[in-house]
Structure 1
Amino acid sequence: MPAKHSLIHSGETQPIPRSPYAWSPLPSIRTTIHPVLGVSNRPSLMYDMSRHISTLRLSHPSLSPRLLAEPATQPPMHSLTIVCPHLPWPINVKARKRNGYITVADVMDGLYHALRPNATEAEFRSLSHDLRHQVNKAYQQRYRRASLMDYAHEKAQGVRRVDFLGGRNTFMGLSSTKGGARVWRLNVS
């Protein structure tokens, strides 16, 4: 005689009862940005993006530099995209460590390396007359603020991508977008 709970009775198979949980979708996990990268009127990371990445500072002595090695998002991700209404291109950030996750430092380093190159002539010409004027003004302000040692070099280099921010170079944090968990908005002032 077959066992009471057996699926086989008299040589015939019975349908397996379906669990009410077998097809339930997994709960969606909301992706959040690390608090030091989050948008704020008083950002935890003080950074003028027209300057070298080495000038980045933590806003309070209680914040540990070890924060820079922490995951930029929860859950951790391998890549993300940063958009800004002042920039005509997205900034793609990838984890520096192979098979790793993006850290807070990766995000800040990614911003620096995306904004530091010279703007191409095509990028500059794609702007309206008014925006070109703003970018030129930001370029002049940037090289005039340079040290005496760097002044001539910065002036000779011409317009950099950071100048497209129109002088709004202060990192104010990242905020979510409608683009999904991998797309974040760069807020500047």
Structure 2
Amino acid sequence: MSSSRHVRFAESVGYAATPSPSHSVSSLPSSYGPWTPPNAFNGNLPLGAPMLHPVLSFAGPEPNVAFNISLPVANIRPMKNIAPSVLLEDATFPRLPSLVLTHPRLFWTITVEPAEGNFVLVRDVFNAIYTSLRQQASAAEYERLGSEAQRQVTKAFTKRYSRMPNAQSQTFEKSKGLKRVDFLGSMVTFMGLNQSQMGPNCWDLVLA
């Protein structure tokens, strides 16, 4: 019997509301000092490939920010001496009007577009990851998974609504159904982005 009986699917698939500016990563505490990235906008990349801002770039076992992508971006905390103003800097050089992020566990790509202006900023990337993964998933998408993947998705779904502070909020969160973030299982820690082979404006989302 299908394990889909353990998860809920909302009646319609829609977009979660984009967090207001007061709930964006621009609200990081101002106590963090200026950040001087060790490899700012340099490195060995294919000729003509855009260079990713180092705060977003995958740099090994310790990311530049603590970001659980299943939680609102207001929960992001710096792991190093990063000034809040870095979030208003360009996400790439040269500047790009949009980015595309991919992950092997997702059927969907994440499109990053600027909230203001014409070019993507660092904070736009974080906001796009969270809001995109809050979109609802359908029963048909769930059924495309193998039995083990379904088990992991169901476990992630249960863990997500169970962490709400009381029974009423847990029931409400559960009623909203399966989200795209649940397809990532336990891999919800942002580690950075790697250049993708799909195109010059495409990056692979690295999670742990």
Give TM-score, length-normalised by structure 2. 0.73
Bigger shift: 101-110 or 172-181? 172-181
Alignment of 1:137-152 (within 5 A): 137-148=155-166, 150-152=169-171
Alignment-derived partner of residue 49 in structure 1: 69
* Aligned residue type for 1:182: N
Q: CA deviation at 1:97?
A: 2.1
Number of the residue aligned with 2:105: 86
Give 5+ residue unaligned stretches, structure 2. 1-46
Amino acid at match of 2:79: S
State yes or no: 1:187 paired with 2:197.
Answer: no
| Partner of residue 130, structure 1 | 148
Query: How large is the Cα RMSD of the aligned pairs?
Result: 1.6
Q: Percent identity?
A: 34
Query: Matches of 1:139 and 1:156 in 2, distance apart?
Result: 11
In the TM superposition, 1:33-112 aligns within 5 A as: 33-40=52-59, 41-60=61-80, 62-98=81-117, 100-112=118-130
* Aligned pairs (5 A) from 1:27-38: 28-38=47-57
**Which sections of structure 1, spanning at least 5 residues, go unmatched?**
1-27
Distance in 2, Cα, partners of 1:33 & 1:90: 18
Who is 1:4 aligned against? none
User: Do 1:58 and 1:65's aligned partners in 2 also have CA atoms closer than 8 Å?
Assistant: no
TM-score, normalized by length of structure 1? Answer: 0.80
- What is the CA distance between 1:122 and its match in structure 2? 2.0
Tell me which moved more, 48-57 or 147-156.
147-156
Greater relative contact order (Cα 8 A, min sep 6): structure 1 or 2?
Answer: 2
Larger Rg: 1
